[in-house]
Amino acid sequence: SEVAMMMDVPVTKIISACMSLGMMVTMNQRLDAETLTIVADEFGYEVVFVTADIEESIVEVLDKPEDLVTRAPIVTVMGHVDHGKTSLLDYIRKENVIAGESGGITQHIGAYGVELENGQKISFLDTPGHEAFTAMRARGAQVTDIAIIVAAADDDIMPQTKEAIAHAQAAGVPIVFAINKIDKPTANPEKIKEGLAQMNLLVEDWGGKIQSHDISAKQGTGVKELLEKILLEAEILELKANPNKPAVGTVVEAYLDKGRGYVSTILVQAGTLRIGDYVLAGKNSGKIKAMQDERGREVLEAGPSTPVSILGLDGATQAGDKFSVFADEREAKQIATKRMQLQREQDVRTTKTLTLAEIGRRIALGTFKELNIILKGDVDGSVEALTDSFQKLSTEEIQVNILHKGVGAITESDVLLATASDAIIIGFNVRPVGNARVIADREEVDIRTYSIIYDAINDLKDAMEGMLSPEL
């Protein structure tokens, strides 16, 4: 289907071209280089392989089941501003570490690991908020296993609480709710749970399956139990990795240190990273000269789910860049250079983010199954009315998903979610604010704003019927 889209021919024609070569293929199957070349030739196209030779050399070895061992969960904390995300991360950092090492985490390296009394470990990403979470996802990195969503019990479920929920759900990451500030006299945790129930999120106390715990991040009440619930969730997920292979993982933070050079904090996701390894990370490469953990201690190796800050890369990597270890330093360097060139070319070329006009084309090609929408409006009534109408547009072939809806302007976070989830944004009597427009233009996210409900519905309907005229 990708090839069909690139050549602008129906996918059925590609399938029959393959059949004439004696290959029975499905729409989602990947074709090998030779087949691609022959098929494209049939339609008068010549194939140029730009990325294949690069990415093919980074084949990850498939793990045998017996090589897999349990790894610690990687957790992100999200929630509305001032509801206590930082306080919770700080409390865990200060208190909940291996006995005798209390207060040992002195450095902010972007992620930290803690070990509970029973010896089980949890790794936390130290950049709270769904913006960081989704920015990573937009770059293709999925590191978070579980999301803690903090909601203050002396407040309501707020717009960013809803956003955080939508972002976690769009990523398919399970949520554990931390209902915070229960030390406050005005705290009413039941109200939050009721609010969640109204959003179809039933927590355990309310007969549902979603875990939640009442805590005070300030005093530490319930934090231990919250962490135990995280471990329970992790058990269900059966998180495993093979520690005995060259390391792969994701960059979580990077900066230039005047004295030490480029410092990157990375999270090893599989394999074991060692000093002296040749690493390729995004468009940078280098040999690891030194590694430190979050306590500022030198470490010689780092296994799955371990965050470490490393020295030795030749530039500033970006959060969300994937890294992998190479046997050969030259090869890592070559790929980094090629990626840099490709990036430059791609900056000039167009990207393939979804636009309303693109929807019609993809539907006509039969490659489209789900239409993701982020809906923002000026009042609750119009948002609900539009949600209803949009959902009614779903057909057997195309499912309309409202990934996130809310009252208020179109924000950066909406655009990020759209980028990460291939969605379009529809605004009703609201406009993009802050950097939202700039980022949307850069990422080519389609933002459509309307002031008449009928127009919004008709445009979407037309797009789904494949007859939308291009945007002027």
Could you tell me the smallest distance in angstroms from the CB atom of residue 132 to ligand GDP?
A: 12
CA distance 167 to 416: 10
Q: Are 248 and 303 in contact (CB under 8 A)?
A: no
In 3D, which of 324, 314, 353 has the Cα closest to residue 441?
353
| 270 token code pair | 């599989």
* Contact status: 438 vs ligand GDP (CB under 6 A): no
DSSP state of 432: B
Could you tell me the smallest distance in angstroms from the CB atom of residue 167 to ligand GDP?
A: 15
Would you say 83 or 322 has its CB closer to ligand GDP? 83
Residues numbered 132 to 191 that lie near ligand GDP (CB under 6 A) are: 180-181, 183-184
Ordered strands of the 447-450 beta sheet: 399-407, 370-377, 423-428, 447-450
* Contact status: 415 vs ligand GDP (CB under 6 A): no
* Contact status: 81 vs ligand GDP (CB under 6 A): yes
Could you tell me the smallest distance in angstroms from the CB atom of residue 296 to ligand GDP?
A: 24
Would you say 151 or 234 has its CB closer to ligand GDP? 151
Give the torsion through C-alpha atoms of 168, 169, 172, 177, to 10 deg.
60
Residue by residue, DSSP assigns 182-238 as: TTSTT--HHHHHHHHHHTT--BGGGTSSBEEEE--TTT-TTHHHHHHHHHHHHHHHT
The secondary structure element, H or E, covering residue 177 is strand 175-180
Residue by residue, DSSP assigns 265-306 as: EEEEEESBEETT-EEEETTEEEEEEEEE-TTS-B-SEE-TT-
Would you say 180 or 421 has its CB closer to ligand GDP? 180
Would you say 96 or 419 has its CB closer to ligand GDP? 96
When binding is defined by CB under 6 A, the residue of 63, 67, 82, 204 that contacts ligand GDP is: 82
Residues numbered 84 to 123 that lie near ligand GDP (CB under 6 A) are: 84-87
CA distance 252 to 282: 12
Could you tell me the smallest distance in angstroms from the CB atom of residue 96 to ligand GDP?
A: 15
Could you tell me the smallest distance in angstroms from the CB atom of residue 149 to ligand GDP?
A: 11
CA distances from 42 to 30, 32, 49 (A): 18, 16, 17
Binding mask 184-203 for ligand GDP (x = CB under 6 A): x-------------------
Could you tell me the smallest distance in angstroms from the CB atom of residue 195 to ligand GDP?
A: 18
Could you tell me the smallest distance in angstroms from the CB atom of residue 95 to ligand GDP?
A: 13
Would you say 15 or 179 has its CB closer to ligand GDP? 179
The footprint of ligand GDP on this chain (CB under 6 A) covers a number of residues equal to 16
Q: Are 38 and 14 in contact (CB under 8 A)?
A: no
From the annotation, which residues make up the binding site for GTP? 79-86, 126-130, 180-183
CA distances from 247 to 131, 143, 243 (A): 27, 15, 8
- Name every residue whose Cβ is closer than 8 Å to that of residue 217 and which is 6 or more positions away in sequence: 84, 87, 88, 90, 91, 150, 178, 180, 181, 223
CA distances from 347 to 339, 340, 341, 344, 388 (A): 12, 11, 10, 5, 38
Q: Which stretch, 35-43, 76-84, 190-198, 377-385, contacts ligand GDP (CB under 6 A)? A: 76-84
Could you tell me the smallest distance in angstroms from the CB atom of residue 133 to ligand GDP?
A: 14
When binding is defined by CB under 6 A, the residue of 73, 110, 128, 432 that contacts ligand GDP is: 128
- For 273-282, b/e burial (b = at least 16 CB within 10 A) is bebebbbbbb
Would you say 183 or 228 has its CB closer to ligand GDP? 183
Q: Which stretch, 68-76, 103-111, 210-218, 444-452, contacts ligand GDP (CB under 6 A)? A: 210-218
Exposed / middle / buried, residue 393 (Cβ in 10 Å: 0-12, 13-18, 19+): middle
Would you say 208 or 220 has its CB closer to ligand GDP? 220
Would you say 81 or 379 has its CB closer to ligand GDP? 81
Determine the longest span between alpha carbons in the chain, in angstroms.
Answer: 74
Residues numbered 211 to 270 that lie near ligand GDP (CB under 6 A) are: 216-218
When binding is defined by CB under 6 A, the residue of 83, 93, 130, 229 that contacts ligand GDP is: 83
Q: Are 292 and 266 in contact (CB under 8 A)?
A: no
From the annotation, which residues make up the binding site? 79-86, 126-130, 180-183
Could you tell me the smallest distance in angstroms from the CB atom of residue 142 to ligand GDP?
A: 23
Q: Which stretch, 14-22, 75-83, 133-141, 410-418, contacts ligand GDP (CB under 6 A)? A: 75-83
* Contacting positions for ligand GDP (CB under 6 A): 79, 81-87, 128, 180-181, 183-184, 216-218
